[in-house]
Amino acid sequence: MKIVFASTPSQEEEINGLVRYVYSSIFPLYFSDEEICEFEQLKVLRTPEDFNTLKDAFQVMTCIQTIISILEPSPLDEQYEAVFDKNVATLQEFGLFFPFEFQQFVDAKRLKNTMLSIFTKADNELII
């Protein structure tokens, strides 16, 4: 008999928070608002209803966090391309659609101008 632990609601909230962070802080560095809207329609990084085990949820969180840490710095460090690819493959094994290759982010960064995005969080908020 094997005992497994189911993922917790707080893990699933954390994963959803990481996905929101990718959409609000990572994608706007590389893609236009139109492209990001298209990613939403294609259900990029849409999580399944729940993960089977605690281990699955931790692996997904770790993969997303690793991808974030690779894509946040500017300029991108190409020595992490293999790590990026491995984490993308792991996400896809768990049913998360992430159809990107490292080179797409390198190319997108080169072409992206520094326009504001509707997906980024505001630097400040008006308090009324």
**Each residue of 111-128: b (16+ CB within 10 Å) or e?**
eeeeeebebeeeeeeeee
Q: What is the pLDDT of residue 120?
A: 58
* pLDDT grade for 54, boundaries at 50, 70 and 90: confident
Give the model confidence (pLDDT) of 3-28 as tens digits. Answer: 556 667 788 899 999 999 999 999 99
Q: Indicate if the pLDDT at residue 128 is higher than 90.
A: no
The dihedral region occupied by 95, where left means phi > 0, alpha psi between -120 and 50, and beta the remainder, is: left
Cα(97)–Cα(100) distance, rounded to whole angstroms? 9
Query: pLDDT (tens digit, 9 = 90+) per residue, 102-124?
Result: 999 988 877 765 555 555 555 55
pLDDT tier at 50, thresholds 50, 70, 90: low
pLDDT level of residue 2 (50, 70, 90 thresholds): low
Helix/strand/coil (H, E, C) string of the chain?
CCCCCCCCHHHHHHHHHHHHHHHHHHHHHHCCHHHHHHHHHCCCCCCCCCCCCHHHHHHHHHHHHHHHHHHCCCCCCHHHHHHHHHHHHHHHHCCCCCCCCHHHHHHHHHHCCCCCCCCCCCCCCCCC
Mean pLDDT (whole number) for 56-78: 92
Task: Give the pLDDT score at 74.
Answer: 78
Taking only the tens place, the pLDDT of each residue in 70-111 is: 999 878 889 999 999 999 999 999 989 999 999 999 888 777
Locate the domains of the chain by residue range: 9-111
pTM of this structure: 0.81
